[in-house]
Chain A
Amino acid sequence: MMMKAHVVSLSLVVLAAVIAGCASERPQATTTDIEVSGVYITEPAMGERAAMYFTVVNRAGTEDELIAVSTPVADVTEMHKTVQQGGTVRMEPVTSVTLPANGELSFAPGGYHVMLLALLEAFAPGDWVDATLHFRVAGEIAIRGEVLKYVDIEKALTGSE
């Protein structure tokens, strides 16, 4: 009886650890050298468009280039850069973004974002969205991100209050 109880409680602990591990692990994709993490999609404002953010880490000694992002939930995706200049803020479309050798590329509010336009599927906070990053050298990397309310974006991307 004692043995059985121990086995049960041990397996519960293992299960709990596995679940906790899953929950705390941000979805990430890894090829040999490129790792994508912190993928978040904003709730679609007015149901029309949403922004996607993520961080790409390159462990290779050679640079790469993010040339496109695609997702089954949007017919059109564009990469944009938010430019602040003299108190004015505007966004500019970009056709590619350099991923530096042994470096990092961050898509975050006020900087780069992927704009999801012409949405094909409705999604809401708590949902998960699939997407593919297309790199010139590394090719395609599949990612998954959680849909967040705008108010939760700051906390998710900075990891603190």
Chain B
Amino acid sequence: MRRTNRVSQVQPRSTHWLVAAACLCIVLLSSCGRETENESTTDSYRGRLLPQPREKVDFSLQDTQGAMFDFREQTEGYVTLLFFGYTHCPDVCPIHMANIAAVLNDFSFELHQQFKVIFVTTDPERDTPQRMRHWLDNFDPSFVGLWGTNDEVNEIAVSLGLPPSVIFETEDGGYAVGHSAHVMVFTKDNLAHILYPFGTRQADWAHDLPGLATETWGE
């Protein structure tokens, strides 16, 4: 009697566990599907999707050859990766740049050609166009370096919804520059739909960039 009782007590509990486990599996499966298996455009990327896509702004800044670079016109038709940083930056900037360069250089020539990487300095005082060129060449000679005054560059960043840069004095009499941590990616529709925070890995870029080259966002 006692034995059957015990069994009958246990059974409902184990049923509960089964139901709970099944639910958990469904939740896990559906969340997995959302990240990796779903073919629909917006859910399959590892970057951070913007709730409201942001339009390219019209601006011209000096490139590393001293010519004026018209952002909207000269990035038309490309997937454009825009990053604000500075060459004295110790880890965030060079790691972002190195990771992107490594991934792009693994692509076929045809695919690689569909991307433009634009680095805008937030440290116009120390980053001369020549210095930026030298620094960018460490990663990829095709990367575009742009220079403008602090006010010009901050106006651009803010109009794109990115934080402006801030200069911090350091104890040794020098300074550091706080800047946006994100790489903003514009697809060929001239809209930025997605941001990549610092910590984006090479595998994430390799996963997302080919899709962004053909992305039409359901249009």
Inter-subunit contact A88/B180 (CB<8 Å): yes
In the assembled complex, the Cα of A82 lies from the Cα of B201 at a distance in Å of 18
Going nearest first, the 10 A-B pairs with the smallest beta carbon separation are A90-B178, A150-B98, A89-B181, A151-B98, A109-B91, A88-B163, A51-B90, A151-B102, A150-B94, A88-B178
Interface residues of A (CB under 8 A from B): 42, 45-46, 48-49, 51, 76, 78, 80, 82, 84, 86-93, 109-110, 113, 115, 149-151, 153-155, 158, 161
By secondary structure, the A interface counts as: strand
Inter-subunit contact B87/A110 (CB<8 Å): no
Does chain A have a CB within 8 A of B53?
no
Inter-subunit contact B95/A84 (CB<8 Å): no
Does chain A have a CB within 8 A of B166?
yes
Inter-subunit contact A115/B102 (CB<8 Å): no
In the assembled complex, the Cα of A110 lies from the Cα of B90 at a distance in Å of 10
Quick one: given A88-B166, A110-B92, are A151 and B101 in contact (CB under 8 Å)? yes
Does chain A have a CB within 8 A of B8?
no
Does chain A have a CB within 8 A of B88?
yes
Does chain A have a CB within 8 A of B203?
yes
In the assembled complex, the Cα of A42 lies from the Cα of B95 at a distance in Å of 10
Of B25-33, B57-65, B169-177, the one contacting chain A is B169-177
List, in ascending order, chain B residues with CB within 8 A of A90's CB. 166, 168, 176-179
Inter-subunit contact B163/A109 (CB<8 Å): no
Q: Which of B101, B134, B135, B170 contacts A93 (CB 8 A)?
A: B170
Does chain A have a CB within 8 A of B216?
no
Q: Interface digits, B90-110 against A, CB 8 Å rule (1 contact, 0 not)?
A: 111011011101100000000
Inter-subunit contact B90/A49 (CB<8 Å): yes
